[in-house]
Amino acid sequence: MGPLMRDRTRAGASFGLLVLLLPLLCAVMTVRAAAPVLFDPIFQPFASSIGVDILGLPISPVITRDGMRYQYTERTRLEVPVAGGPVQLSRAGAILSAGRDFTQLASSSVNPQTLYFPQTNHSLAYGFRLYWEQHGGLTVFGLPISEEFPEFNPADGKTYDVQYFERAKFERHPEFAGTPNEIQLGLLGVQLYQFFEGVGMPGATTPTPGLKAPFNPDIGLVTEFTNQPRDRLLKMVGDLGVHWVRQPVQWFALEPTPGVYDFGGLGLLLDDLKIQGVNVLLTVSGSPKWETPTGDNGAPRDPADFARFMSALATRFAGRVGAYEVWNEPNLALEWGPRVDPNAYVEMLKAVAPAIRAADPHAIIVAAALGPTGYNDPKIGIDDVRYLEQLEAYQNGVYRYMADVQGSHPYGYRSAPDLLWPEKPNTGEYTTHPSFYFRRIEQQRLAMIRAGDGGRAMWVTEFGWGSGNFPEFSDVSEDTRAAWITQAVQQARARYPWIGAMFVWNLNWSVFSPPDTSWGYFSLINPDYSPRPAYNAVKYLPK
């Protein structure tokens, strides 16, 4: 299995609502017991002025980073510059709602109880307005950045009326109507901690599947060995020093006839990689024509057939495959076809995950990485963040119990890894939507955390930049993309404690890709197998 660890505690999870909610309830209720810490003296006066009943108890010691001191509480994060200055709440509401589309108001309501803010085009009214004004208002909570709306709370499985502010989220709890506890701050401190510090709470000792340690992702490489010179490619994999390779495999190629498997060639490759000490992620997609209603290679007609195939595959290669990624970019009709359906993907994963676990209890299961897109047409594709939100919402969150790891494909197109639209944008083509940026993975991660799925790691199963005559990267030089690959890894190691592995796309597509496709322009080698600057960038990355 190599350096990554696998936790079997979820293998036998029931899908009943109570069982689904118990782990979340326990996680929230044990935050205080797991972290019996006090407010640091630098934050104590501010906390006393606001009230522990509003902020919640502290859940972390003081953490110093980038010139700031932070201390997390159950409901927020306190911050102060190291050089000195006023203590305030972090912009928790703005951070955790990034990537969401809150409908704005064009003008103020005539209702005298409504307070309108032209800075954000949002309003504040009724009980939320009173609470905001009585507990610090703009200075403490900041401006409203949403209207009031109902939102599912994964911590207790209930839906509350909520409103997001720059530094907080208000929740209305009808069970406490008429009492001071009717309006409460949401548990944004717990969510912020999972985004900035790690998937578990302070003091947690349970290993996270697919995550060796926070801020320490393994480096992998997407390869294509099928019908390619295996010895030559294996030598390159060894020279690059990567710990993992990701090999795409097609179901239709391995089971051309129902029940007849062609595993021989794949077996020889896996044997060679095992001898070389390289872990393998197999990304499996592409139904046989006999399995789809339209005779294409899209989603299977019957998930049970795919589960049977994956069981046979995992049984045959137990001990030789470290991880399985179940499908590729199912939010795109080109991959899922003819119509994108997130609920159908969850149903497929519900059938496939138990089959893999029964066949190989040590293999990591990776939920399919999503293709970056801003489309919202099921016949073409669904925005990757919207699609992930729909996956998480289906059947009260059953999705989070299916796979050990969530996959992601945060491509950067023609922008550096640290940019993101609209807060720090590039200019020109392919820059006016966050899906064109590597940092799109942050918004995917936040969608998971908001859904109560922050306890799972993420793997970047494809990332990289191209250089060539295609408009999405036409002004990116070979030296620039090499530098950006290095920068992306450094950025993940500094800022993303929840990434367990990163696979560079790709080693060798330049050798066999059609000239009218962009795949070869992402390769680390030229068509004659000579190395490009990106090859050496990967080679000299600390592994």
Residues 312-332 have a mean pLDDT of: 98
Task: Name the average pLDDT for the chain.
Answer: 91
Give the β-pairing of 149-153 and 158-165: antiparallel
pLDDT exceeds 80 at position 29: no
Pick the closest to residue 202 from 216, 212, 217, 192 (CA basis).
Answer: 192
List, in sequence order, the alpha helices (H) in 317-451.
333-336, 342-359, 384-393, 440-450
DSSP 165-226: ETTEEEEE-GGGTTSTTSEEE-SHHHHHHHHHT-SS-TT--SPBTTBSSTT--EEEEE---T
Strands (E), 49-130: 63-65, 68-72, 77-81, 88-89, 114-117, 122-125
133-161 pLDDT tens trace: 999 999 999 999 999 999 999 888 899 99
pLDDT at 109: 56
| Dihedral angle, C-alpha 326, 217, 374, 385, nearest 10 ° | 70
What is residue 4's predicted lDDT score, i.e. its pLDDT?
A: 36
Buried b / exposed e across 322-351, counting CB within 10 Å, b at 16+? bbbbbbbbbbbbebbbeebbbebbbebbbb
Bridge partners (DSSP) listed for residue 459: 407, 501
Q: For the chain, what are the domain ranges?
A: 31-196, 218-539
Give the contacts of 529 (CB within 8 A, at least 6 positions apart). 232, 236, 508, 511
Q: How confident is the model at residue 333 (pLDDT cuts 50, 70, 90)?
A: very high
Q: Answer yes or no: is pLDDT of 2 > 90.
A: no
Spell out the residues 6+ positions from residue 235 whose beta carbon is closer than 8 angstroms to its own: none
d(CA 441, CA 99): 10
How confident is the model at residue 110, as a pLDDT? 54
The label of the residue with tokens 């349970």 reads 206
Neighbours of 422 (CB within 10 A): 9
Spell out a b/e string for 471-494, using b for 16 or more CB atoms within 10 Å of the CB, else e: ebbeebebebbbbbbbbbbebbbe
Stretch (H or E) spanning 139: helix 137-141
What's the pTM?
0.90
CATH number for 218-539 (one of 3.20.20.80, 3.40.50.1000, 3.90.79.10, 3.40.47.10): it is 3.20.20.80
Contacts of 95 (CB under 8 A, 6+ apart): 192, 195, 446
**Whole-angstrom Cα distance, residue 370 to residue 388?**
8
Contact 519, 509 (CB under 8 A): yes
**How many alpha carbons fall within 13 Å on the CB side of residue 14?**
6
Which amino acid appears at position 121 of this protein? Answer: N
pLDDT, tens digit, 9 for 90 and up, residues 403-445: 999 999 999 999 999 999 999 999 999 999 999 999 999 999 9
The C-alpha atoms of residue 531 and residue 336 are separated, in whole angstroms, by 34
Q: For residues 73-100, give the mean pLDDT.
A: 95
- List, for residues 245-291, the tens digit of each pLDDT value: 999 999 999 999 999 999 999 999 999 999 999 999 999 999 999 99
Tokens of 36: 């019996």
**Average pLDDT of span 319-327:** 97
What pLDDT was estimated at residue 17?
29
pLDDT of 36 reads: 64
| pLDDT digits 0-9 by tens, 489-525 | 999 999 999 999 999 999 999 999 998 899 999 999 9
Is the pLDDT confidence value at 30 over 60?
no
Give the three-class secondary structure for 463. strand
Peptide bond into 144 cis (omega under 30): no
d(CA 32, CA 74): 8
Q: What is the DSSP letter of 118?
A: T
pLDDT digits (tens, 9 = 90+) for 170-223: 999 999 999 999 999 999 999 999 999 999 877 778 899 999 999 999 999 999
